[in-house]
Amino acid sequence: MGHRLATAYHFGIAVFLLFCIGITTPGYAQVDDEVPRIEQAEAVFEQALEAFTAEDYGMAYRRFRVVYEGYQLHRKTTAAILMAGKSLYREGDYERAEDLLEEFIRAFPTSSYLDDADRTLALVREQLGGAIPETRTLRLGIALPLTDNDAPLTQALFNGIRLAVEMHNERDDTQVQMVFRDSQNSRSGAMSAVTALINANVDMIIGPLYSEEADGAAQIAERAGVVLVAPLATDESVAQGRRYVFQTNPTISSRGRMIADVAMNDLGARRVGIVAEQGDDISERMAEGFQQESDRLGANVAFYERISSRDWDTLVEQLEGHNLTTLDALYLPVGSGNARNHVDAALTSLDQAGVLPRVLGNTQWEELTATQLANAFGVIYTKDFHVDDDDPLVQNFRLTYRQLAEQAPGRLAFVGYDVARFLLGQIARAPDTPLEVAMREAPRFPGLGMDIDFSNGNANEALFFFRYGANGAERYR
């Protein structure tokens, strides 16, 4: 196992580059000019072909190996790896042929040689005397942007997806092949990418990244009846009213709704106030979601005010005319700009006025420094992403990721891993159920960095809730 993984990584370092430069048919009917043509390597390739034709398979293998190991990525790389596997098969070296062909299939998931490699691998396994396992092959489409600013984000997300796919393929008879297309960080580019993936007969799609391009991609996937999972999009329009499109990042308004549910059902709040940051779209949408859920649950929304980002330090003065002492809870979704200072200022203003309602917040409340005041107000806030560094699974993922990427995993690496694990997990859990149905029927999925729950619809409604106590922030639920 260790030898196979190491060799797979040796080949796999070229995979992402292959995706970036757009190669989908390494037999080179369609080859981007950015892929170098190395004349010396091509000359060696021809020598290897001559040896293969002359049935000198040992020599052919050695020459093909020079082609893919002795030069940087070039136009004959994948052809040489495949032919090396065939040479080993003809030579009767079935175990090495099996290793090489398995690694080729894992490392080059978009190659037009996959069918040829699969057929040769089946022949190899037949010669090894073992029963050829009946496997079901699924194609996972990946639509992510490769524009300059987005390429590092895409690579991190792709690396996480790749690790999840490799883990799945090692454990499950249903094998997954990845097919990548560049979404170009634009609505039209995303629509083209998803169209290309559907034409390539993918069974499901992860991506694109952002709400605008994801909304365009969603239209294409929905029409085609192909499951698409947008990993980062937060706009309600992406999955709303759709059957096959899912969002794993909770929508902005749902974050407000979910903490309102905690306020009413966990804390027993019946009279609440809301203050949003005027002109901050995220703050206002969370506030509106909180108000909608409070109304639905029968709470009394005493007020919904919007204040300037400059006025958090005079919060109580801004709320003149409202009786804060009768509130059970006060929701303060602070905007992202200078959030730490705004959060501290809001708590200080409330403290100086001598009013102590339960304070509820958003992710920005994690950044505050006035932790003693936060404890006094019993602050509870939401998070959409949380990694428990003491979890052995997290530690193992960090180690494996570092071996692959030679750097520590960031948020997007965890997101890619969790989203792919959830998606593939439903195929393993309910193989005879349509995927879009299995995803909605799945129990809450505890990922390494995010939880996923589609039981209430196609937008994830799994958030983390944290509470400030005497020792700082701690997980509430």
Quote the CA–CA distance of 197 and 219 in Å, as a whole number: 14
Please check whether residue 424 is in contact with residue 231, taking contact to mean a CB–CB distance below 8 angstroms: no
3-state DSSP percent of the chain in helix, strand and coil, to 5 = 50, 15, 35
199 and 290 together in one domain: no
The residue from 323, 353, 383 where one domain ends is 383
Q: Which residue has the tokens 């403290």?
A: 351
Mean pLDDT of the residues in the chain: 87
pLDDT in tens, 303-335: 999 999 899 999 999 998 898 989 999 999 998
77 and 145 together in one domain: no
Residue type, 47: Q
33 and 66 together in one domain: yes
Strand partners, 306: 276
pLDDT in tens, 441-473: 999 999 999 999 999 999 999 999 999 988 888
Residue 403 lies in a domain: yes
Residue 3's pLDDT is 34
Quote the CA–CA distance of 146 and 100 in Å, as a whole number: 30
423 and 377 together in one domain: no
Residue 1's pLDDT is 34
Q: Which two tokens stand for residue 325?
A: 């002492």
Residue 372's pLDDT is 87
Residue 467 lies in a domain: no
Please choose, from the candidates 359, 411, 363, 378, the residue with its C-alpha nearest in 3D space to the C-alpha of residue 252: 363
Residue 5's pLDDT is 33
164 and 77 together in one domain: no
**Helix, strand or coil for residue 124?**
helix
Please choose, from the candidates 177, 192, 243, the residue with its C-alpha nearest in 3D space to the C-alpha of residue 458: 243
The residue from 383, 418, 450 where one domain ends is 383
267 and 346 together in one domain: yes
244 and 257 together in one domain: no
pLDDT in tens, 353-389: 888 889 999 998 987 888 888 898 989 999 999 999 9
Per-residue pLDDT at 30 exceeds 50: no
Residue 181's pLDDT is 95
Cβ burial, residue 230 (10 Å; 0-12/13-18/19+): buried
Residue 136's pLDDT is 73
How many Cβ atoms from other residues are within 10 Å of residue 415's Cβ? 26
pLDDT above 90: percentage of residues in the chain? 62
Quote the CA–CA distance of 56 and 17 in Å, as a whole number: 33
Cβ burial, residue 303 (10 Å; 0-12/13-18/19+): middle
Q: Which two tokens stand for residue 170?
A: 């090692």
368 and 265 together in one domain: yes
Cβ burial, residue 195 (10 Å; 0-12/13-18/19+): middle
pLDDT band for position 173 (50/70/90)?
Answer: confident
* Domain span at 118: 1-133
The residue from 336, 362, 383 where one domain ends is 383
Q: How many domains is the chain partitioned into structurally?
A: 3
258 and 309 together in one domain: yes
109 and 140 together in one domain: no
The CATH number of whichever domain residue 142 belongs to comes to 3.40.50.2300
Residue 23's pLDDT is 29
Residue 466 lies in a domain: no
Please choose, from the candidates 351, 409, 354, 388, the residue with its C-alpha nearest in 3D space to the C-alpha of residue 466: 388
Cβ burial, residue 158 (10 Å; 0-12/13-18/19+): buried
244 and 260 together in one domain: no
Residue 474 lies in a domain: no
**Helix, strand or coil for residue 186?**
coil
180 and 223 together in one domain: yes
pLDDT band for position 91 (50/70/90)?
Answer: confident
Per-residue pLDDT at 433 exceeds 70: yes
Residue 437 lies in a domain: yes
Cβ burial, residue 71 (10 Å; 0-12/13-18/19+): middle
The CATH number of whichever domain residue 7 belongs to comes to 1.25.40.10
Q: Which two tokens stand for residue 266?
A: 């966990």
Choose the weakest-confidence range: 1-15, 171-185, 201-215. 1-15
Residue 268 lies in a domain: yes
pLDDT in tens, 120-141: 988 998 888 755 555 678 899 9
Quote the CA–CA distance of 139 and 148 in Å, as a whole number: 27
Please choose, from the candidates 32, 109, 112, 106, the residue with its C-alpha nearest in 3D space to the C-alpha of residue 74: 32
Residue 2's pLDDT is 34
Cα–Cα distances in angstroms (integers) from residue 385 to residues 332, 396, 421, 452, 462, in the given order: 20, 18, 16, 11, 10
Residue 469 lies in a domain: no
Please choose, from the candidates 70, 437, 471, the residue with its C-alpha nearest in 3D space to the C-alpha of residue 246: 437
Rounded to two decimals, the pTM is 0.73
Cβ burial, residue 199 (10 Å; 0-12/13-18/19+): exposed
Residue 56 lies in a domain: yes
Residue 35's pLDDT is 60
Please give the average per-residue pLDDT across 3-24, as a whole number. Answer: 38
| Kind of pairing between the strands at 174-182 and 358-361 | unpaired
Choose the weakest-confidence range: 44-48, 177-181, 368-372, 406-410. 368-372
